[in-house]
C-alpha cells in the first residue's frame, strides 16, 4: 500500500480534509501502485472485485460454490463474494436489479452484455475438463472447445445466469488461472 506524504510544494491542510488538498498529495510507491500528485493520477492495472448481477442468487451460489468448488470469502443475505487467486481477486454475485440500482443504471435483462470472463489453463485437456465440470455444475456449453483464430484452443460456457466464460489454452502472454 502507498504511504501518502505531502509533495514538497504542498500547501497547508485544506479545511475539512485530514490530508489537505488531494491535488497536492504524492505517494511512495511500489511498482504498479497508483501515483497521485498535482499533475497525474494513474490507476493501478488491477481488478479487485468483479461483481455479476444475477437473477437467482441461490442458484448462482450453488453453481460457483457447490458446482465449481470456489471458496466463499464473505456472504450476506443479498450477496456472496468468492475469494480467487489466493485473495488477490474476488468475484461477487449480487441481485441483478439491486446492482443496477446501486450503479445508477436501468436494469436490462436480455441480450449479450458485452463482457466475457476468461479462465486460462496450460493444456487443451484441461480446457475440456473445465468445460465438462461447468456443464456438470449446471452451466451451458455455448461454444465447444476448438482451435481458436488466435492460435490457441478455447471454448465457452455460460453460467446459470448467462455470463460467458471462455476457457482457453495457448494464451501464453496472459495470466494462467492454474
Mean per-residue pLDDT pooled into runs of 10, the chain (178 residues)? 37 40 43 52 76 94 97 92 89 90 73 78 94 95 91 91 90 75
Helix (H) or strand (E) holding 87: none
**Cell numbers of 109, please?**
435483462
Taking the model in full, what pTM does it have? 0.64
CA distance 121 to 153: 10
The CATH H-level (homologous superfamily) assignment of domain 47-110 is 2,3-Dihydroxybiphenyl 1,2-Dioxygenase, domain 1 (3.10.180.10)
CA distance 79 to 51: 10
CA distance 144 to 51: 26
Q: What's the topology of domain 112-178?
A: 2,3-Dihydroxybiphenyl 1,2-Dioxygenase; domain 1 (3.10.180)
8 Å CB contact between 50 and 82: no
8 Å CB contact between 90 and 79: no
Amino acid at each position: 500500500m502507498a504511504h501518502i506524504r505531502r509533495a514538497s510544494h504542498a500547501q497547508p491542510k485544506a479545511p475539512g480534509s485530514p490530508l489537505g488538498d488531494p491535488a497536492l498529495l504524492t505517494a511512495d510507491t511500489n511498482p504498479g501502485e497508483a501515483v497521485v500528485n498535482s499533475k497525474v493520477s494513474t490507476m493501478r492495472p488491477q481488478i479487485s472485485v468483479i461483481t455479476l448481477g444475477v437473477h437467482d442468487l441461490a442458484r448462482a451460489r450453488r453453481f460457483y460454490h457447490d458446482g465449481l468448488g470456489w471458496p466463499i470469502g464473505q456472504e450476506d443475505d443479498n450477496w456472496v463474494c468468492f475469494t480467487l487467486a489466493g485473495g488477490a481477486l474476488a468475484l461477487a454475485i449480487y441481485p441483478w436489479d439491486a446492482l443496477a440500482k446501486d450503479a445508477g443504471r436501468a436494469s436490462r435483462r436480455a441480450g449479450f452484455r458485452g463482457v466475457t470472463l476468461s479462465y486460462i489453463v496450460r493444456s487443451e485437456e484441461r480446457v475440456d475438463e473445465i468445460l465438462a465440470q461447468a456443464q456438470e455444475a449446471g452451466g451451458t456449453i455455448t461454444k465447444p472447445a476448438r482451435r481458436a483464430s488466435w492460435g490457441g484452443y478455447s471454448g465457452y460456457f455460460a453460467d446459470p445466469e448467462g455470463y460467458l466464460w471462455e476457457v482457453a489454452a495457448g494464451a501464453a502472454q496472459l495470466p494462467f488461472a492454474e
